[in-house]
C-alpha cells in the first residue's frame, strides 16, 4: 500500500508536465437581488384652471366654485440594481407604468352641477440613488421622464376624449429592508402635468405633489 501511494504522489508532477490542465477555479456565485419589481399607492392633489373655465364656455355660471382635483395613483415598476456607487449612493434604473385617476366637482351657488373626471397613464424611465443610513434604513432620490396618455369625461357637457403629452416625475423618501429580498418605502412624489391636454373643455392642471407608500421585491 505504501509503495502504491508513493507512486501515485510521484506521478502527479509528471501529469502536469504532460499537458493536463489544472482544475479551473470555481466562478463566484452571481450577486443576488440584481433585479427587482415593485408597486406603490399614492394620493395627489393638483390645482387647475377649472374656475376660469367655469366662467366661460361651456359653463357660463354665475357664482362658480371648484373643488380641486384629488387623485389616486397606482404604479408598477421593474428594474435592476446597477452595482455602481456615486457619492456613496447605490444606483438603480427602472421602468414604471402608472395609473392616475381623479375628479373635481363644479358648483354654482353651492349646488353641485357636474364633475370632471380625468385618468392619466404615464410610462417613464427612471434612475434611483439610494444610501443606507442605519440598520437597513435607507434614503432615496429618483427622477424619471416619459410620456403620458390622458382620458377625460366632462359630465356637464357630455364631452369626452383622450390625448397624450410629455411627463416627468421625481421622488424622495425612506426605505427599510425587511430581509434580503423585501423592502418597504414611503415618501413624496412630484409630477409634471402642465403639458397634458384634456380636450376642448380647456381644463389645465398645474404640477402635483403627493405622498405614497410601496413595496419592492429583489430577486
Domain total of the chain: 1
Q: Parallel, antiparallel, or unpaired for β 137-154 and 182-192? A: unpaired
pTM above 0.85, yes or no: no
The reply to whether 3 falls in a domain is: no
On whether residue 157 sits in a domain, the answer given is: yes
Q: What is the pLDDT along the chain (219 residues), one digit of tens a residue?
A: 444 544 454 455 444 445 555 555 555 554 545 899 999 999 998 877 665 555 555 556 666 666 678 899 999 999 999 988 888 899 999 999 999 998 877 676 666 666 778 899 999 999 999 999 998 899 999 999 999 999 988 777 677 888 889 999 999 999 999 999 999 999 999 999 888 877 666 677 888 899 999 999 999
Say which CATH number the domain at 147 has: 2.40.160.20
**Range(s) of the domain holding residue 137:** 36-218
**Count of other CB atoms within 10 angstroms of residue 60:** 10
> Does 204 reside within a domain?
yes
In a domain, 77, yes or no: yes
Q: Please report whether residue 111 resides in a domain.
A: yes
Q: Please indicate, yes or no, if residue 10 is contained in any of the structural domains.
A: no
Amino acid at each position: 500500500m505504501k509503495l502504491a501511494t508513493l507512486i501515485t504522489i510521484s506521478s502527479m508532477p509528471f501529469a502536469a508536465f504532460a499537458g493536463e490542465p489544472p482544475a479551473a477555479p470555481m466562478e463566484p456565485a452571481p450577486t443576488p437581488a440584481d433585479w427587482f419589481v415593485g408597486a406603490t399607492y399614492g394620493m395627489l392633489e393638483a390645482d387647475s384652471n377649472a374656475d376660469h373655465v367655469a366662467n366661460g364656455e361651456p359653463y357660463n355660471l354665475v357664482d362658480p366654485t371648484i373643488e380641486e382635483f384629488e387623485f389616486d395613483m397606482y404604479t408598477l415598476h421593474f428594474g435592476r440594481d446597477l452595482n455602481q456607487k456615486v457619492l456613496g449612493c447605490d444606483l438603480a434604473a427602472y421602468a414604471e407604468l402608472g395609473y392616475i385617476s381623479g375628479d373635481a366637482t363644479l358648483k354654482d351657488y353651492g349646488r353641485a352641477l357636474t364633475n370632471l373626471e380625468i385618468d392619466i397613464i404615464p410610462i417613464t424611465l427612471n434612475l434611483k440613488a439610494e444610501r443606507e443610513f442605519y440598520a437597513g434604513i435607507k434614503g432615496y432620490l429618483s427622477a424619471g421622464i416619459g410620456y403620458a396618455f390622458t382620458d377625460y369625461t366632462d359630465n356637464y357637457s357630455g364631452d369626452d376624449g383622450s390625448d397624450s403629452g410629455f411627463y416627468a416625475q421625481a421622488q424622495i423618501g425612506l426605505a427599510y429592508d425587511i430581509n434580503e429580498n423585501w423592502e418597504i418605502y414611503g415618501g413624496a412624489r412630484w409630477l409634471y402635468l402642465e403639458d397634458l391636454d384634456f380636450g376642448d373643455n380647456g381644463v389645465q392642471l398645474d404640477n402635483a405633489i403627493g405622498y405614497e407608500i410601496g413595496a419592492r421585491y429583489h430577486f
